[in-house]
Structure 1
């Protein structure tokens, strides 16, 4: 259905030929407002018809691709159980809810109630129409109940929720606030807890920008201190070696993000990107998946679990390399043969050498593991 998302939207909210002709220009204008000209963007910009159309026809489509790719690759225990209340913060046109319906078919049979919170009633209404249209194509399942709530992060709702999601919300908040994440995160975390039960699962996703990735890293610390488990992407509970400290102001500190190629994106979307002069070769995101169980399966003494955090690197002797995150910090993995791994993959490596005796790469200073 993602392949034909433009046709679904056209059936729900049709554009005439003139509007379709102006769409690439409107998308480009909105992109500028969301990036370099964001100071000119009104807080309730998604209540405006032209802005909402550009957002839903382009940005929602790309977000469905990013989120569906992520959700497909997360373990089942990251997602809600049957008969629970869920909350999507900064829901916009229900992009997270729609992505979950499309990418996790096993959730369709569950009785879920979704509180979808956003500043724009128009965006929520459009999102509900899109969701119900897509759900109607699988008539054997009853659609989840959607409760639309107009408001900002912190708005009261009547139920505590067992599953809380948000996508791009902290990035939007950070764009309207000059305070660094270090001064904001406690407030964010306390508000998340206000919405939560003791068993709440969280799935927080951001676009992969340094500042919002830093926010997630700081939230990660607080969840760990509350004895929660970071189910993904973290393979450990040690200090984050990609915490993004001051990366958004130009420091050399790395921030946690994952990328994948867009070559398999729908051709109509890629053509629209070209027409709007916003070509995408890669889609990037940062995220944390949190569950209430603080116990994570431990490795054997000679094993190390790592998460690949980079694209493939060309090394000498036709070897392939990747940077990876682990409990001992960032690593350089060197594969002696061709590797099919990609950014985001989790590997458990059987070490042939004690950790303290691992070779240190002279260029990066990272410990290096050679895999044959």
Structure 2
């Protein structure tokens, strides 16, 4: 989203600096920082949040995650002492020192420890909050009679997304779900599978059976084929197809020592990097969507485009990328290609029209959402502090695609020309000249909007807004200015 001031987008990613004190760590936790302050009163209708707080079961599970990690990847005393330094070293390697990454990090036991005890848990915190709010299809409704709902996770690593989904939706833990986890490396898959079993056993929760497979993202349909054959040879549909933190790795083809880098959301992306590989990236994304098409679309003219042969809806297709310039830009370009190919943007996009950030901002900004880190378990916050990587906030760039028949309804238009739009808040609050309070940008079917007096809203909130036909445009961003509800026409702040 357009920025009013030049500031680092991710202050939590400053690796290599002075370690904050415990007092600074406590101050960085939003739940404590705002203690004693009166909540802001919003003139806007209550928005539907994109990142609800973790429910009690998920918080308990994350507190007990180290028990399961020790069963899968135990640390001796020396490794426990070196863990904060290993985390900081891996973070530097993935940001300022990325050029020095010449071999897969899985070949280094210290980096495997850093990933499992730091990067994976933070990804679980992010993804669990997101997956609790997205309008995902219910596996209990899509599973065939007597069969299983299939979750196909591409670029799965140590099963970050399946684990987060298992945490986020407790009502689905007993559902007949089977996971196919695909990755180019075997070790993270096996570690994730073992962690899933160990974690479920310690919590006393049912886990989903997992099958692992090695291969590139485009091989997912071939790897899934044996699981998609139903009774009497009938072809079945998957329930959900997912890929988290992998599209930003689709660089121009270049051979290396192999392996994948960890899912670090703070990769140091240069502003000009995306332009250098824009063409190859688009080609690779296009090939990926073509490869997934047999899992998504009808196979003959007798089958409705928006439904499977047995009448159930087609599977959802979910991508989640880091909230960096690179991750957000990749998601915007993927969305553009997916819509051109007959899919619809279901969430978090409030519409399936052209992306206003991609079309109107000339590459100056990217789609992403930020939220607080208050739900992180205390042990993870302590480790982050010891590694000098305190997180004041988290960021993601998600995209849920589905059948074109599920597109949102067009905006309602009043007799005077005023439109009621579905809006998704994009930015942090900032002071805007000539407007009451602090404003926020939002995405709508009519393009970018600037919401007046919106500090009480949060990044990712989904709410209805009213756009009058004569709404002025912001001089800097060209966004349509939407005054706060109840504001008198012509009133000045």
TM-score normalised by length of structure 2: 0.68
Q: Hey, what's the Cα distance between the residues in 1 that align with 2:355 and 2:173?
A: 35
CA distance in 2, matches of 1:153, 1:221: 19
CA RMSD, aligned part only? 2.6
Distance across 2 between alignment mates of 1:281 and 1:147? 36
Q: Report whether the alignment pairs 1:307 with 2:307.
A: no
Structure 1 residues 172 and 347, CA, compared in 2 at 3 Å: closer, same or farther? Answer: same
Distance 1:79 1:310, change over 3 A: farther
167-176 or 121-130: which moved more? 167-176
Match of 1:153 in 2: 217
Give 1:137 shift. 4.9
Is 1:348 the counterpart of 2:413? The answer is no
Task: Return closer, same or farther for 1:43/1:100 CA change in 2, 3 Å cut-off.
Answer: farther
Unaligned runs of 5+ in 2: 1-60, 229-237, 255-275, 299-313, 414-418, 486-493
Partners of 1:51 and 1:175 lie apart in 2 by 26
SS in 1 for 2:182: strand
Post-superposition Cα deviations, 1:205-238, rounded to whole Å, max 9, x if no partner, equal 0001222322221221222223322110111222
* Alpha-carbon separation, structure 1, partners of 2:87 and 2:428: 29
Name the structure 1 match of 2:196: 131
User: Is 1:284 aligned to 2:379, yes or no?
Assistant: no
Matched, 1:107 2:172: yes
Aligned to 2:443: 325
Conserved in 1, the CA contact under 8 Å of 2:466 and 2:482?
no
Q: Which residue of 2 aligns with 1:229?
A: 344
* Number of residue-to-residue matches in the alignment: 362
Q: How far has the Cα of 1:291 moved from its partner?
A: 1.5
* Partners of 2:352 and 2:408 within 8 A in 1: no
Asked whether the equivalents of residues 47 and 120 of structure 1 are also in contact (C-alpha less than 8 Å), the reply is no
Contact 1:78 1:201 in 2 (8 A): no
Q: Which residue number corresponds to residue 185 of structure 1? A: 285
Q: Deviations over 1:21-78 (max 9, x none)?
A: 1111111221122223333324643254322211111000110011011111112438
Q: Are 2:352 and 2:407, in contact at CA under 8 Å, matched by a contact in 1?
A: no
Please state if 1:94 is matched with 2:159: yes
Kept in 2: contact 1:12–1:130 (CA 8 A): yes
- 1:266 Cα deviation (Å)? 1.9
Map 1:57-72; keep pairs closer than 5 Å.
Answer: 57-72=117-132
Q: 1:264 to 1:201 in 2, by over 3 A?
A: closer
Per the TM alignment, residue 343 of structure 1 is displaced from its structure 2 partner at its CA by: 0.4
What CA distance in whole angstroms lies between the structure 2 residues aligned with 1:124 and 1:16? 23
- SS of match in other structure, 1:157: helix
CA separation of 1:331 and 1:38: change in aligned 2, threshold 3 A: same
Distance 1:76 1:295, change over 3 A: closer
Q: Would you say the 8 A contact 1:92–1:127 is kept in 2?
A: yes
Q: Please state how far the C-alpha of 1:323 moved relative to its aligned partner.
A: 0.6
Match of 1:200 among 305, 310, 315: 315
Find the counterpart in structure 1 of residue 371 from structure 2.
260
Q: What is the Cα deviation at residue 195 of structure 1? A: 5.1
Tell me if 1:31 matches 2:131: no
Cα deviation for residue 240 of structure 1 reads: 0.8
Matched with 1:366 is 479
SS of the equivalent of 1:206 reads strand
Q: TM-score, normalised by structure 1?
A: 0.88
Decide whether the 8 Å contact of 1:38 with 1:175 is kept in 2. no
Deviation at 1:95, TM superposition (A): 0.6
In the TM superposition, residue 7 of structure 1 has moved relative to its aligned partner by: 3.2
Secondary structure of residue in 2 paired with 1:182: helix
Structure of greater relative contact order (alpha carbons < 8 Å, 6+ residues apart): 2
For residues 78 and 325 of structure 1, the distance between their equivalents in structure 2, rounded to whole angstroms, comes to 27
CA spacing shift, 1:332–1:238, aligned 2, 3 Å: same
- The answer to whether the 8 Å contact 2:157/2:183 transfers is yes
Shift in alpha-carbon separation, 1:305–1:115, aligned structure 2, 3 A: same
Q: Which has the larger radius of gyration?
A: 2
Asked if the contact 1:185–1:219 (Cα under 8 Å) also holds between the matched residues in 2, the reply is yes
Contact between 2:124 and 2:160, CA under 8 Å: does it hold in 1?
yes
CA deviation profile, 1:229-288 (whole Å, cap 9, x unmatched): 21101112221112299x9xxx75210000111134222212211221222211111010
User: SS of the residue aligned with 1:124?
Assistant: helix
* Matches of 2:436 and 2:446, distance apart in 1: 27
Deviation at 1:169, TM superposition (A): 0.7
